[in-house]
Chain A
Amino acid sequence: MRRRLPGFLLAAPAWAWLTIFFIAPVAMVVWFSFGYKPSIFATQATDKLSFDRYAEVLTPTFFATFQNTLWVGVVGTVLCFLIGLPVAYWMAVKAPPSKRGLLVALVMVPFWTNFLVRTIGWQVILAPEGVLSTMLQGVGFEPLAILNTRGAVLIGVVYNYLPLMILPLFVAFDRVNGPLREASKDLGAGKLTTFFRITLPLAQPGIVAGVLLVFIPLMGDYITATVLGGAKGNMVGQLVASQFQTAQNWALGSAMAVVLIFVILLTAAAGAILVWLVSWPFRARNRLVIGTAPAAASVPVREEVAA
């Protein structure tokens, strides 16, 4: 009887905990999103169910915020990728192996510093009376007027999510590092060819992880926009928060949260399809190479003999 107890029961407490405090609350929010706000004193009611709250979310005012969030999300993720990719490559391939641990630690410290504090740091830097502005005025520039604009939010999100891009990319490049790249060089491929034909395709899982790790939380961000965005830098996260905290319209806030999740999923899916289509010709070519691996392996031998 002792041994008949199925082992997966060990996971039952975690399963129950997450069901009660994650699945159930989120399900309740979905349920609320079909309801309405009955009076100024009540937050929500679900005796009459309808899609009216979703119609309300799609009105021009809210739609503009969704558009803005999507813009910040996509541009922010692309910038993180463009800035983070060389850094991760540098850490994993170019930097001396003895320094690797230190570099990882250096990227980790900002990542684990409180999100809100880091963002406040940017507020201090970007403020018109702050450090950067004073320095710029010292060399004859106007006081900085970037705080409370979409530009400030973009700087903030790129900063806040950059480590989430660098770390998975570093792990991916670190795995590819070594024999395969050397083999590619031995076979006469240049640096760029090796990077685009060997390193990048093999680092693909890390790239996907990095992009998703940045894009998903970025779309739901609420702190960065609150600290740096002011009135112009509205993001959906703030909108959802305000419906729950100040407007006390839980029905509308719930509908917004559900729409936000759908927008994230749809954008991620659209991005995946786009990448799949764009990389189609390259993959066809790479598959050919891998398919004829034994023949390719014999090439260097022949060349060495010829030389």
Chain B
Amino acid sequence: MSLRQAERPARRARPAWSDVAFNIWGILVLLFLFAPILVIIASSFNVGRLLVSWDQFGFDSFLALLAKPALRDAVWISVQTGFIAALVATLLGTLAGIAMARHAGKWVWWFLGLLLLVSVTPEIVDAVALLPWMVFLGQDLGMSIFNDGIVRLVVGHSLFSVAVVSYLVRARLVGQEAKLEEASADLYATPARTFRKVTLPLAMPAVLAGFLLSFTLSLDNTVIAAFVSVSGSTPWPVYVLSALRSGLRPEIAAVSTVMLVLTLVALGLVALVLRRAGDSAADIARTMAGS
């Protein structure tokens, strides 16, 4: 190989036809992946009455977003829910992830099985199961907290996120040896202090990434939200879903564009946190694909 390169240093080989084909295919698929998103972003600058038929360019739909209280409230409900759901999922998931990594035993397999079950169950099954369950808890058992719209949404959105945060934190800690914790214990730190000063900082990139991923997952959750939400606390995807029946207007595209920007900011932060912690592109892909 190196010999041949030395023989003719200046000339570059013509790219093989297979490489060209791969490039073309890859770029075509990326275009395919972006097509509907670009269409939605473009539509949000449409001044027409209906989303599907282009009228002319303008910012009216974004102004309508500010003027329409229903839509504004829906976004606000989503942001609140996303924040609380992410907090709950991060708290539960971080503790579970640390337990799995540092206190391994036969129970870990059972717990991982449960997490796997949570993450592979189709969302529609979770959704139809949570609806009667919330009615049961709230009305039959009289726990009125479960009649609250935000509480219901937080519960529904947190399930998958708990699994995601647990995986992330476990993966991060399993990759690093427990030597630091042992050293801390040898130096007479109490378990609580070791936890706070050593284990938690070690897990921190995963905790942060998990929080942001949970936030975006909750922000975008449509199926579970459509079933458990109560009128008065409609998150924005459910608002869009109901708009689907009554006719899609450009505001729908505008709110989608705004939420897309919010999601991208959160994801950019995730990538930044993971990069800082030394992850490669493949590691980040693995983290974000949830596998």
Contacts and interface: CB of A to CB of B under 8 A. Distances in A.
Interface of A: 2-3, 6-11, 13-15, 17-18, 21-26, 28-29, 32, 43-44, 83-84, 86-87, 89-92, 94-95, 100-101, 103-125, 127, 129-131, 159, 162-164, 167-168, 170-171, 174-175, 191, 209, 212-213, 216-217, 219-223, 226-227, 237, 240-241, 244-245, 250, 253-254, 257, 260-261, 264
Interface string B93-104: 101101110110
B289 A171 contact: yes
B166 A32 contact: no
Interface stretch (B5-13, B66-74, B131-139): B131-139
A15 B259 CA distance: 32
A121 B125 contact: no
B201 interface: no
Contacts of B281: 100-101, 104, 174
Contacts of B202: none
12 contacts: A10-B103, A14-B96, A17-B158, A26-B121, A28-B132, A28-B136, A29-B132, A89-B22, A112-B264, A120-B252, A124-B52, A257-B125
Given A10-B99, A15-B96, A217-B122, A21 B105 contact: no
B180 interface: no
A90 B22 contact: yes
Interface of B: 18-19, 22-23, 25-26, 29-30, 32-37, 39-40, 43, 51-54, 88, 91-93, 95-96, 98-100, 102-103, 105, 107, 111, 114-115, 117-118, 120-133, 136, 155-156, 158-159, 162, 166, 190-191, 216, 219-220, 222-223, 226-227, 237, 240-241, 244, 248, 252, 256, 259-260, 263-264, 267, 271, 281-282, 284-286, 288-291
B240 A260 contact: no
B291 A213 contact: yes
B3 to A, nearest CB: 12
B4 to A, nearest CB: 14
A36 to B, nearest CB: 15
Nearest to A254: B128
Given A115-B222, A125-B39, A168-B291, A25 B33 contact: no
Nearest to A127: B52
Contacts of B25: 86-87, 90
B220 A114 contact: yes
Contacts of A83: 29
Contacts of A124: 36, 39-40, 43, 51-52
Given A6-B103, A17-B158, A90-B22, A25 B129 contact: yes
Nearest to A100: B281
B259 to A, nearest CB: 6
Most buried by B among A18, A110, A127, A226: A18
Contact of B95 (A13, A216, A217, A250): A13
B285 A120 contact: no
Most buried by A among B129, B155, B264, B285: B285
